[in-house]
Structure 1
Amino acid sequence: MENLISRITINPDVCHGKATVRNMRYPVEMILDLLSSGMGFQEIIEDYPALENEDILASIYYAKNKYNV
């Protein structure tokens, strides 16, 4: 799991310091919104080809640990 969480970065110069995936302009919040809207991993990756399955898993893991859900 440590490998997954290392994919999440917080950089004040990227997306106003929000948690993002691999220092790219893909906020964790956006990934979670896409999942909650019903999109599957493959659909998200098709729409955002720079993302990987592990990025989506890392976003879920980050949210789980941040909000203790």
Structure 2
Amino acid sequence: MQNIDRITIDPDICHGKPCIRGMRYPVENVLEWLAGGMSIDDILGDYEDLQKDDILAVLAYAARLAHIKSIKGFAA
């Protein structure tokens, strides 16, 4: 997996949500930006403290979560 160690979970940052490198960029926000049509370059242009490897780590983290066997109770 691509740099998945860039994803950190700290109860003192963003209420313990997975974030990028301990910064206040939750994985869920980055996924929403990508799902909304932003490109990696768009994100990097808007958030200069992020790196391409951070975005790739978010995608790798999401891919790993997609390996679960059941999503009972998942709301769309």
Shorter-chain TM-score above 0.5: yes
TM-score class, shorter-chain normalisation, is: over 0.9
Stretches of structure 2 that go unaligned for 5 or more consecutive residues are: 69-76
- Mapped to 1, the partners of 2:50 and 2:13 lie a distance apart of 16
Q: Does 1:40 align with 2:47?
A: no
What's 1:15 paired with?
A: 14
What's 2:72 paired with?
A: none
What's 2:3 paired with?
A: 4
SS of the equivalent of 1:55 reads helix
Higher helix share: 1
TM-score (norm 1): 0.93
What's 1:24 paired with?
A: 23
What's 2:73 paired with?
A: none
- Mapped to 1, the partners of 2:62 and 2:40 lie a distance apart of 16
Deviations 1:1-47 (A, max 9, x none): 3x611100000000000000000000000000000000001100111
Q: How much identity, in percent, do the aligned residues show?
A: 49
SS of the equivalent of 1:24 reads coil
SS of the equivalent of 2:8 reads strand
Stretches of structure 1 that go unaligned for 5 or more consecutive residues are: none
| Structure 1 residue ranges (4+ consecutive) displaced by more than 3 angstroms after TM superposition | none
